[in-house]
Each structure stands twice: as C-alpha cells, then as structure tokens.
Amino acid sequence: MPSIARLPDNVANKISAGEVVQRPASVVKELLENAIDSGADRISVVIKDAGKELVRIIDNGRGMNREDALLSVERFATSKLRDVEDLETLCTLGFRGEALASISSVSHFELRTREADAPVALRFRYEGGIPAEESEVQGEPGTSVSVRNLFYNVPARRKFLKSNATEYGHIFELVRSFSLAYPEIQWQLLNDDEELFNFRTPDLLERLDTFYGKGFAESLIEVGEENDYLSIRGYIGRPALQKRKKLDQYFFINRRLIQNRMLTQALQQAYAELLVERQAPFALLFLGIDPSRVDVNVHPAKLEVRFDDERSVRNMFYPVIKRAVTMHDFSPDLAAGGQRAETADEAASRGFAHGGGGTFRTLSFQEVPERAITTGELYGSYREGAFGRSLPAVPQPSHQEVMFPVPEVPAAREDISQLLRSSMHEGPEGAEVDPKGEDPKIWQLHNKYLICQIKTGVMIIDQHVAHERVLYERAVEVMDSSVPNSQQLLFPQKVEFRPWEYEVFEEIKDDLYRLGFNLRSFGSRAVMIEGVPQDVRPGSEVTILQDMIAEYRENASRLRLERRDNLAKSYSCRNAIMAGQKLSMGEMRTLIDNLFATREPYSCPHGRPVIIKMTLTQLDHMFGRS
C-alpha cells in the first residue's frame, strides 16, 4: 500500500487558507479584488467585530450564472486565465483561483449573485467548505459575499488574531487604499452598523481630505512623468506631513496595491535630509508598466512584485521624485507648525459621516494643488523686501525638460553682498545703517535666530542649522572634487586619541584629508594637526576633530550613514556657529547669502527646518484683523 496519498479537498483548502487568508483583512482584500474585476462601480464593505463575526462585500458588477457561481468556490477555478502566457499580460487583480475556496473552508460562507438579465438572484451557502444550501432569492444585480465566524473550525488560527482595534485597523487601511486607487468607484464602509464614509463622487482629493483632514490635499505635490517604459503619477507630501510609520505610503503597479522595498528606499533617499530620523514621507503613487515586465505571481497575498529590470525602474523613479522635491519650497509656515495629518486610528475612531458633499475642495485628479512659493521667489522677496530694491532674479529650473532627467544642482545664486553694501554706509561708531537712517531689515533674536522682512511677511532662520547646511554642502563638494581646502597652521596642534577614537580616525583619515585636515601620525595614538579646512574657527582645531570623531561614531551606530555623508554631517554639526553666538550685520548677510546658494536651504543635514515663514495674512488673522 503506498505511503503517499492525495489530500482531501477540504484539508488542502485549509492548508491553502493558511497562506491566502491570514486575518480578516486578507478576506476583505481578496473579495474587493474580485468585486473590482467584476466591473463594479459601487462597492460596500460591511464589518462586524473587526471582521471576526462578519465580513460582507456587496458590489453591482456583472454577477454570475449558476455554473460560474459553483465553479468560483472550487480550487484553481478562475475566469481570468486560460493559459500560462496569460500571466504575462495580466490586467486583473485576481487570477490564482484560490481565494473563495480557501475562505469558504474556514468560515460560514454565503454567496449571492445575479446577472443583469436574470429574474432572480442565486444563493449558495457553505460551512467549512462543504455545500450546505442552494436557493433562489430576491436581489439586486451584482454579487454579495458574506463571511461569518472566520476560523471557527481552526481555533488555533482564531486564537492568534490580534485585538479588534488592530484587526480593524488593517481592514481600514486596506479599504482606504482601494478607495484611493479607484476613485471612479463609489465606496462605502460600515463598521458595527456605523457608516464611516460613503464616497459618491470620483474626487480623489476630496477623499484625501476626508481621510487626513481638511486642506491636506492642497499641501501635496503632484507628480507626473511618462515614457515608453514607465509612467508615474500621483502625489507626494511635504516634510511637514512626515510620519513615523510607512502606512501612509501607497504604491500601485498597474493599479495593483504592492509593497516594494526598492521603491520605498528610493522615495526616502529622494527626500534625503528633509526628513527627520526614522520618519517617512506621505506618498500616493501610481506606476504603469508593461505587464510582461513585472511578475505579480510571487506570493499568494499578491502584495509583492518583481520587476524584470529593477535597476531601470529605480533609475527612472528616483529622479522624478527628487526633481519634484527639489523644485518646491519646504520651509514650514509658522501658523501651520502645530498641524499634523490625522492617523488612520484617529480617523477611524472619529468616524466619517461624509456623503460626498460638504465644503471639500473639488479638484480633478489631473489638477495640480496650489503650489508653494519656490526657492527663487522666497529669496527674491527677501532681497527686495529687506533692502528696497529689485535684484537679479534667481534662476529657476525649466519646465521644458527631457523625460526622467537626473535633477540638476541649481546654479549658485548671485553674490549680492556688494549690492547690499551699496545700500548702506558706515554710521557713527561703525554701526551699519541704510542711507535713510533706518536699521536694515535683518535682526538677530536672542543670538539664536535671524529675522528677515520679506515681501509677503517675515522669515525666521535658525542660525546654527543654516550654517550647518552651508558647511555640509561645502564639505560634500570638497570631498567629491578633491579641491585643496586646507589652511596650514602656524603652530601645529597635537591630539591624543583614546583607543576607540583612534580606530575611527584610522577608518576616516583619507576622507579627513580630502576634507582639508592635514594630519600626521605622532606616536602610537597621537596625531599632529598641521592644517585644517578654511571654515574651522581658529583655536578650535583639536576640539573640532575630537567632536567630529565622536559624532561620526554615534551616527555610524545609530543611522548607518554612508561614510562620506556621515563625515560631512559630523563636520558641519560640530563646526557650525552655535546658538548664543552674536553675529555682526555683515556675518548675518553673508550667512543668508550662503544659505540660499545651497541646493536645499530649507533643512539641515539632519532634517531639522532651517526657515520658517509667517505671512502678513497669518499675522492679521492672529490679531483679529481678518
């Protein structure tokens, strides 16, 4: 007698359910994909007890006849594939033919379906995958699937489900992602008989405002690029909208919700220093690609995909996001500093009594949200507003560029120090005033912040992080170009390192030399400093070097930065002017000029904001003038 036997269908279905149906949200995902594939333009999701008691999906799609309805609950039965070649041209969300069989095997399962020309609906009921009832009932065209008592016959799996709040959170995130991916579909979500939202219009930005708070959509940046290989469209968020979790990053390949580490990392790297540690930007991005170039048949959950040329996808995706980020002003408005996007849990807890009307802003998907002030406009208004004369405009990136270009570094802004001096003269006792006898419109507040009058209001600059940004970009440029940057010391300084400091020094000494440190070994763990970068303050050479090594070590263990980037950040942080240091008018002007000559003047290398703006309108509102 053979020792190998074919498993009964009910056992095979339960085993399959372990991969396909991991939790109630898995049931929702599979049923929603079927509803979308059926051509529905109206879908309702009904949840009770976080999906443990009931998951019901109702759609107005094509419906099924009796033969198709019976086959739909069989294993490996699908209407979406006929041959293996069809996998290369797959345009549907479902295709494996396992979902309904797996779901019905671990629940009390009911299927109601009716084709548009059928007189009545058909009702099929299963218990643990075994047919229990078939009848004709009244019903609307379309399909309704009810899944009750999930995992009732697999107690071990039911026992390990999380709390209702956690399981419901997964369902809410899923339904939200589908409603954003398919704005042409009317979506309704009911949780324990409470309607959370009911979208009746195809306005994507209205849905974003509903989920994340009024005005959220206006603060997003629209992205749109296309070539013969890849198309990218959607929205990304400003750093002020950054999250400590990546749940609010949506990537869709051919409108299929996916998870892909390469895309996530490329998005994070495009923002670079604009993000604070362990925070992630908001993203809602739709990528279109030839189905033959992407494999969606990687895992039963169908969330993972593989590209046939992942490097090419990244090389096209990254520059598009980087360019969108670099072309916008990310300095936060002071009045908006306390605002934040609403989390999914908060949104779910407060509910959504929204029926498609209200005061939401109505925009089509193709419209660009109101853009922020650009770098050039901000700097130009600072120069004109502060000194009463119009200076040459800052060059702006051209909008007529080739598809998928690598973002170029903005040209350095003109050196306006001579023009600034020409509008001032030396007053009594060397004080600098303008020709009218008025103080120039730059002030230092508590030896910590620089306040500048601009055309639209006021601009506040943190002097330490502003100088940090200047030094960081200068250090990166010097190390990459190998241009001599060393200033020889008249009297060399000796540094005695502790063992761990000397180990770090040995690791980075070549890059220290490129940065401008001229160092010579002197004994077992001692070094003579014979030259330093030109930005190092006289008398601080030893302290700067020791502090840099300590900062480098901390960054290496905590942030895992690339070596040169780590060294540039350590150098700029330790060598920048500090809060509490008084600056002359000339030093303030020079710092502001140098700041706006950088690639990214709005954040320090560690992600902290450099500039905050407050408009006259915001000030008027605070004082009750509006």
Topology (CATH) of 9-161: Heat Shock Protein 90 (3.30.565)
Q: Class of 439-615 per CATH?
A: alpha beta
Choice among 91-105, 222-236, 335-349 with the minimum mean pLDDT:
335-349
CA distance linking residue 112 with residue 123, whole number of Å: 4
Choice among 158-172, 442-456, 555-569 with the minimum mean pLDDT:
555-569
Domain ranges of the chain: 9-161, 205-350, 439-615
Residue 495 CA: distances (Å) to CA of 275, 296, 427, 489: 35, 58, 45, 14
To the nearest whole number, what is the mean pLDDT of the chain?
77
- For residue 281, pLDDT over 90 is answered with no
pLDDT at 466: 93
Choice among 124-133, 294-303, 491-500 with the minimum mean pLDDT:
294-303
Q: What is the rounded average pLDDT of the residues 463-469?
A: 92
Higher pLDDT, 228 or 142: 142
Q: How does pLDDT run across 124-160, given as a tens digit for each residue?
A: 999 998 999 999 999 999 999 999 999 998 888 888 8
Choice among 11-15, 306-310, 484-488, 566-570 with the minimum mean pLDDT:
11-15
Q: Class of 205-350 per CATH?
A: alpha beta
CA distance linking residue 127 with residue 291, whole number of Å: 37
CA distance linking residue 534 with residue 371, whole number of Å: 39
pLDDT at 363: 28
pTM over the 0.75 mark? no
- For residue 430, pLDDT over 90 is answered with no
**Secondary structure string (H, E, C) spanning 190-201:** EECCEEEEEECC
Q: What is the rounded average pLDDT of the residues 262-280?
A: 79
pLDDT at 356: 35
Q: What is the rounded average pLDDT of the residues 405-424?
A: 37
- For residue 324, pLDDT over 90 is answered with no
Q: Exposure string (b/e) for 153-165, b if CB count within 10 Å is 16 or more? A: bbeebeeebeeee
pLDDT at 395: 39
- Reduced to 3 states (helix: H, G, I; strand: E, B; else coil), residue 510 is helix
Q: How does pLDDT run across 151-206, given as a tens digit for each residue?
A: 998 888 888 888 898 899 899 999 999 999 999 999 999 999 999 999 999 999 99
Choice among 148-152, 330-334, 443-447 with the minimum mean pLDDT:
330-334
